[in-house]
Amino acid sequence: MGKFAEMVPERVRALASYVPGKPIRQAEAESGVKMIKLGSNENPFGPSPLAMAAMAEATKSVHLYPDNDSVTLRERLAERHGLQPNQLIVTAGSTYLLDLLARALLSPGLNAVTSERSFIAYPIVTGSAGAALRQVPVRNDGFDLDAISDAIDSDTRLVFIANPNNPTGTMISARELDRFLDRLPENVVVALDEAYYDYAECLARERGVEYSHSVNYVRQERSVVVLRTFSKAYGLAAARVGYGMGPAELLNYVARLKSAFIVSSVAEAGALAALDDHEHYDKSMRNNSEQLPLMMRQLRELGYAPVESWANFIYIETGEDASTLGKRLQMNGVIVRPLTGSWGARTAIRMTVGSPEENRKFIDALKSVTSGAHAR
C-alpha cells in the first residue's frame, strides 16, 4: 500500500476504473497495422460537417469562458422536446450526468438498482457516491423489470435503466416501461439512459414497435430523468456533450454539483449545428438500418447467435475468451470491445455497426481469426 491509501477513503480505493474502448493510435502502435475502430459505438461517418464548421467558428472565442448553463442549447432542446428549459440540463456527456445524479441522490447506506451486463459506468458512479449497487440477473439478455422492482427497497434512490441496453442491445418497449413506472415507489428516481435513442427509434419505426415515449414522463413530472447524448448518432463523442430531461426541482439540485464551465462553447456550438444537419443524421440512421441486419445475417452464417439489436452495435457470444479473440482481431486491424471485467461477459464481444467497408473488414478479420462453429 502506498502512502496515500490511508488518506483516500475505502469507497474510492474500491472503485474500478472505467476502461474505455482502445484508442486507434494505441492499437496501431501495438499491432503495427492500420486499424478501424468498432469498439465504442461511435459514428462511422465522423462528425456532422455542419457541426465541424460551427465548432471551427467557435474556436475564435475560446479565450472567453463558455455559458455555464448552455442556455442556447438548453432552450433549443426544450423547444424540440416540448419542455420548459428548467426541465433540461446540459452536461459534458451523459456519463457526467449519471455521476451528478448519483452524487445528488445517493450516499453511504443508500442503494441504486440496475441490471447485470449493463453499462459499466453505473457501478462506478454509484460507488463514487458511497452507495451500494444491486445488479439483478438479466432476462433474455436484457433488463428484467420485475426483478428490478423486487430489488428496490426503502433505501433505494436511483434505478439505472439503459434502453437500449449497452452492451446487449436489447430494448424495453414503451408499454413495459409504463407498467414498471406505475409500480415505482415514491422514494426512487429512474435514470432512463437513452444514449442510443436515435437508432432505436429508427429501428422501432421500421419494425412497427413502439420504443419510447420517455419525454411524456418528463411532461407528466414523473420521477424520471431521461439521458441523451450527442456522442453517438451526432458523431460528437470527443466534444463531450449530452443532456438530461427531468423534474425541474431535481435538476436544480443536480446542477449545483456540476463543475463550472464543464460544457465548452465549442461543444455547445457543435451540438446546436448537429441538430440541424439532417443529411448527416439521416445517412447515419440509414446506414445502421441497412448494415445491422446484414451483419446479423453474416454472423449467423458464421455460426454465431448474435442478440437482436436495437442500437448501433451487436452483442456476440463467442464461446471463447473474448480478450484473446479481441487481440487476434486487433492484429487483423479491427478494434472490438471484449466484454470482460466489469461488463461481466468474458466470452462475449460487442461490435459497432460501421460503414459497409468497415463491416466487411470486420467479417473478413473474424473469419481469418476463428474457425468452426460458434453456437452458444
Ligand X SMILES: Cc1ncc(COP(=O)(O)O)c(C=O)c1O
Q: Which is nearer to ligand X, 41 or 340 (CB)?
A: 41
Amino acid occupying residue 138: V
Q: Among residues 111, 229, 284, 347, which is the contact residue for ligand X, using CB under 6 A?
A: 229
Asked if 41 interacts with ligand X (CB under 6 A), we say yes
**In the complex, residue closest to ligand X by CB:** 93
Helix, strand, or coil here: 317? strand
Q: 350 vs 20, 120, 244, CA distance in Å?
A: 13, 13, 26
Helices (H), 161-264: 174-182, 197-207, 214-219, 248-256
Closest CA to 299 of 205, 365, 355: 365
Q: Among residues 166, 168, 170, 330, which is the contact residue for ligand X, using CB under 6 A?
A: 166
The C-alpha cell that represents 91 in the structure block: 452536461
* Least distance from ligand X to the Cβ atom of residue 77, Å: 14
In sequence order, what DSSP letters do the residues of 119-188 get, joined into one string? -THHHHHHHHTT-EEEEEPPBTTB--HHHHHHH--TTEEEEEEESS-TTT-----HHHHHHHHHT--TT-
Q: Among residues 95, 111, 115, 265, which is the contact residue for ligand X, using CB under 6 A?
A: 95
* Least distance from ligand X to the Cβ atom of residue 227, Å: 7
Buried b (16+ CB within 10 A) or exposed e, 111-124: bbbbbebbbbbbbb
Asked if 93 interacts with ligand X (CB under 6 A), we say yes
* Least distance from ligand X to the Cβ atom of residue 231, Å: 3
Q: Which is nearer to ligand X, 170 or 347 (CB)?
A: 170
Helices (H), the chain: 10-13, 24-31, 49-58, 71-81, 94-105, 121-128, 145-151, 174-182, 197-207, 214-219, 248-256, 265-276, 278-301, 322-331, 356-369
Q: Which is nearer to ligand X, 173 or 332 (CB)?
A: 173
Binding segment (CB under 6 A) for ligand X, from list 216-224, 229-237, 249-257, 349-357: 229-237
Q: Among residues 87, 212, 231, 284, which is the contact residue for ligand X, using CB under 6 A?
A: 231
What are the backbone dihedrals phi and psi of residue 359, each rounded to the nearest 5 degrees, phi first? Answer: -65, -40
Contact of 153 with 372, CB cutoff 8 Å: no
Q: Which is nearer to ligand X, 164 or 319 (CB)?
A: 164
Q: Which is nearer to ligand X, 77 or 363 (CB)?
A: 77
* Least distance from ligand X to the Cβ atom of residue 83, Å: 19
Q: How many residues bind ligand X (CB under 6 A)?
A: 13
Q: Among residues 22, 188, 193, 268, which is the contact residue for ligand X, using CB under 6 A?
A: 193
Q: Which residues contact 315 (CB under 8 A, 6 or more apart)?
A: 141, 167, 168, 169, 306, 307, 309, 339, 345, 348, 349, 350
Q: Which is nearer to ligand X, 119 or 362 (CB)?
A: 119
* Least distance from ligand X to the Cβ atom of residue 94, Å: 4
Q: Which is nearer to ligand X, 188 or 226 (CB)?
A: 226
Asked if 292 interacts with ligand X (CB under 6 A), we say no
* Least distance from ligand X to the Cβ atom of residue 5, Å: 30
Q: Which is nearer to ligand X, 54 or 267 (CB)?
A: 267
Binding mask 99-138 for ligand X (x = CB under 6 A): --------------------x-------------------
Q: Which is nearer to ligand X, 95 or 370 (CB)?
A: 95
Binding mask 232-261 for ligand X (x = CB under 6 A): -----x----x-------------------
Q: What are the residues binding ligand X (CB under 6 A)?
A: 41, 93-95, 119, 162, 166, 193, 195, 229, 231, 237, 242
